[in-house]
Every structure is written in structure tokens, then in C-alpha cells.
């Protein structure tokens, strides 16, 4: 779909919400919207697609109550703002949207969480991503380095980029809206998504991308939606294995889970953002033991998080149960860069090739 077509679709779907309110009023009904209930009880793990989704429970917001009427008023203001923004081919951040509401009198947002929540409502009602409304997050996108060729729509027209030959040492920066990217070709065997910038730079400096024909993606910690969408698109387009390489702690395991299965907060977009075939490469608790990695003791919060993951459907496999229980027994956690204790080349010459072979990737 072209940008013009996408913009037209976004405007039409936004306006259709207000049009429905008008129809309700002309029929003598009170304006209202129906949305999936956004509670933990209504978040379900879909075994078939292996992602988080909303269940069947719905909540109705009707102008018959002052609180819900104010919510619909704020939504009307946002719809009008977004329609104008798309028409003028401009964009804004989620933070800017919050401040723009300062002039909306009673429709002013009391906190940014409120405006963020309303944008999620619009995503659900329109079945479109916020990027289609020309909204972007505050943080910059992650980066890619490796044998991948793509075409990006820029203000000066289409630009073809090779993510090894046409970029600096930091790689190609993933834009906020990746739907305008055309994935052209690759010479890769697999994709490795890396939590930390230090490890991402280590793999580039050691030539891991060239030696193993690997596409490297820097996640920058908990990955942004654009990063997860890009991984999803590359995986679906080229059917390349996706490996996630993080620190060895419960919070990093959740980074893997958000890549592979989606996050509860963005359950309405899981099928676009999650890559269910993604595999966890490490750092494993068993690596901490087997390689005698420098490590720290688990905190009480770490222990509670690990115990919580034992009841999380995303970790309901023999592999994860074994690894998490081992970590609780060891009472240790470790970072990716702890492999440097064995030399700067160890991770690329020994550890990763061994794990990739063990997993049947190479």
C-alpha cells in the first residue's frame, strides 16, 4: 500500500468513529464506543499464534456518564488533530500530543498516560498502528548491521540501502514507521537481536556479521515497537531464523518474550509485532555455571520476577522451567559482556558458534 493510500485509510477510519457517534445521535441513542476490556483477566495467550491477545470481554464507554462523556470529548479532539496532521503530512510525538491538549480546555489530558491510553483505544477501534496516524515515540529506533538490502521512502524519494556497505559503524537506524520500507534482498543465514550496545559493537568489530552472514539488530534494551515490527517483517519476508541474545537475568528474559510472543500492553498488535519463531540464544543460567562467568547475586526483586515467570505462559516449556529453576538454585545473574573475562574474541569465536551449532542454526 502506498503512503497516500495508507494516509487516506487512516483518515477515513478515524473519521468513521465520529461518524458513528453522529449516527447514534440521529437515531436517538447516546454516543458510545465498545472496546476490549484492558485488564489482566482479559489478556489471553493464544496457543495457535503463540502471542498475547485480548479476550472476548468488552467494556462500553457511553456519554451517559460524565466520566465517559469526557473521554469521548477528548477522543473527538484527538481525532480532529490527527486528521489534520495526516492531511498536512506532519507528525508529532506522543509527548507533544499530550502538551498540545493544553489548549483543549476541558478536553485537556491530566497526564501523558491518559493520552497514551487513548491512542491505544484508537489503534483498537481502527485496527491500525499509531504510526499510521503520524505519531512517533520519543526514543530513536534501534539499528541494523548486516547483509540486508532495503528500499526506504525518504523526503527526497526512494533510497536503496545496503545495511553493511552503505552505513557507518553504528548501522542503519530503524525509522519509527517501518511500513514504508521495502525489504529487497539478503545474504544472511540468520538474524541475531542483541540487548546491549556494547555486545552489538563487539560483534561488528569482530566481523561476526561477515563471517557468519548474520544480520545484527541492536534492541537497545526493551525493544521499541518499530524494532519488533522490523524483526517480524524480516522473518516473514525471508524466513530467516531470529535469535535473541540478552543478559542472563529475569528482566532480559522478558525482552526475549516481548520479541517472541508480544507484550501484554500491546496485545492488540501482537500479530504484527511478535515473532513467535524467535529463539533464545543466551545468556542462559547454565552458561553462568558452565563458563564460570563473572556474576552478581540475585536480588529479592530478581527472585520474585523469576518465580513470576514460572507461572507465565510464555515460559511454559521444559527448557525455561529447567533454566529458571537452575538460576534460582545458583542465585546468580550475569551480563552479556561478562564473556569478555575470557577474552574479547571468545563470544564470537567460541560461545556464539557453539550455541548456533547446538541450536541447529549453522
How do residues 76-109 score in pLDDT, each as one tens digit? Answer: 999 999 999 999 988 888 888 888 888 898 888 9
> The domain that contains 197 carries what CATH number?
3.40.1360.10
The helix/strand/coil state of 161 is strand
Final residue of a structural domain among 97, 117, 136: 136
Q: Give the per-residue pLDDT at 1.
A: 66
- Rounded CA separation 295/234 (Å): 34
Q: Which residue has the cell 574479547?
A: 344
Q: What is the CATH number of the domain that holds 126?
A: 1.10.10.10
pLDDT exceeds 80 at position 172: yes
What is the band of 355 on the pLDDT scale with cuts at 50, 70, 90?
very high
pLDDT exceeds 80 at position 201: yes
Q: Are residues 126 and 193 in the same domain?
A: no
Residues 6+ away with beta carbon under 8 Å from 205: none
Q: Are residues 64 and 197 in the same domain?
A: no
Give the sheet arrangement for strand 143-145, strand by strand.
172-173, 143-145, 214-218, 190-194, 242-245, 279-282
**Residue 303 forms part of a structural domain:** yes
User: What is the average pLDDT score of the chain?
Assistant: 89
| Domain membership flag for residue 283 | yes
Q: Last residue of some domain: 136, 157, 178?
A: 136
In whole angstroms, what is the distance from residue 66 CA to residue 241 CA? 51
Catalytic residue from among 54, 77, 98, 99? 99
Active site residue 261: no
Render pLDDT for 221-273 as a digit per residue (tens, 0 to 9).
888 888 999 999 999 999 999 999 999 999 999 999 989 987 766 667 777 88
**In the chain, how many domains are there?**
2
CA 225 – CA 124 distance, rounded (Å): 16
What is the structure's pLDDT at 103?
A: 87
pTM here is 0.78
Domain residue limits at 262? 187-358
Amino acid at each position: 500500500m502506498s503512503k497516500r493510500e495508507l494516509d487516506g485509510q487512516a483518515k477515513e477510519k478515524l473519521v468513521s468513529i465520529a461518524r458513528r457517534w453522529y449516527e447514534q445521535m440521529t437515531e436517538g441513542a447516546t454516543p458510545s464506543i465498545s472496546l476490549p476490556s484492558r485488564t489482566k483477566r482479559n489478556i489471553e495467550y493464544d496457543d495457535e499464534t503463540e502471542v498475547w491477545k485480548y479476550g472476548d470481554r468488552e467494556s462500553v464507554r457511553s456519554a451517559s456518564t460524565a466520566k465517559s462523556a469526557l473521554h469521548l470529548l477528548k477522543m473527538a479532539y484527538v481525532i480532529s488533530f490527527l486528521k489534520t496532521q495526516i492531511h498536512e503530512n506532519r507528525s508529532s510525538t506522543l509527548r507533544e500530543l499530550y502538551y498540545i491538549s493544553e489548549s483543549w480546555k476541558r478536553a485537556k489530558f491530566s497526564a501523558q498516560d491518559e493520552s497514551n491510553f487513548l491512542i491505544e483505544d484508537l489503534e483498537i477501534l481502527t485496527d491500525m498502528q499509531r504510526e499510521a496516524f503520524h505519531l512517533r515515540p520519543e526514543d530513536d529506533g534501534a539499528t541494523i548491521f548486516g547483509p540486508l538490502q532495503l528500499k526506504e521512502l525518504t523526503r527526497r524519494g526512494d533510497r536503496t540501502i545496503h545495511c553493511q556497505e552503505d552505513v557507518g559503524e553504528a548501522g542503519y537506524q530503524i525509522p519509527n514507521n517501518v511500513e514504508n520500507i521495502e525489504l529487497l534482498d539478503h545474504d544472511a543465514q540468520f538474524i541475531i537481536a542483541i540487548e546491549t550496545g556494547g555486545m552489538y559493537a563487539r560483534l561488528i568489530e569482530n566481523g561476526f556479521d561477515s563471517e557468519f552472514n548474520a544480520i545484527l539488530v541492536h534492541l537497545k534494551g526493551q525493544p521499541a515497537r518499530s524494532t519488533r515490527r522490523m524483526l517480524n517483517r524480516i522473518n516473514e519476508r525471508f524466513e530467516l531464523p531470529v535469535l535473541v541474545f540478552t543478559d542472563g537475568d529475569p528482566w532480559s528474559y522478558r525482552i526475549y518474550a516481548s520479541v517472541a510472543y508480544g507484550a501484554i500492553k500491546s496485545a492488540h498488535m501482537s500479530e504484527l509485532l511478535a515473532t513467535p519463531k524467535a529463539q533464545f540464544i543466551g545468556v542462559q543460567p547454565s552458561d553462568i555455571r558452565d563458563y564460570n562467568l563473572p556474576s552478581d547475586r540475585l536480588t529479592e526483586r530478581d527472585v520474585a520476577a523469576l518465580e513470576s515467570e514460572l507461572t507465565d505462559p510464555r515460559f511454559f516449556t521444559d527448557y525455561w522451567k529447567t533454566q529458571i529453576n537452575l538460576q534460582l538454585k545458583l542465585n546468580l545473574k550475569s551480563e552479556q559482556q561478562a564473556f569478555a573475562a575470557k577474552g574479547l574474541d571468545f563470544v564470537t569465536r567460541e560461545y556464539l558458534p557453539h550455541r548456533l551449532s547446538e541450536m541447529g542454526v549453522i
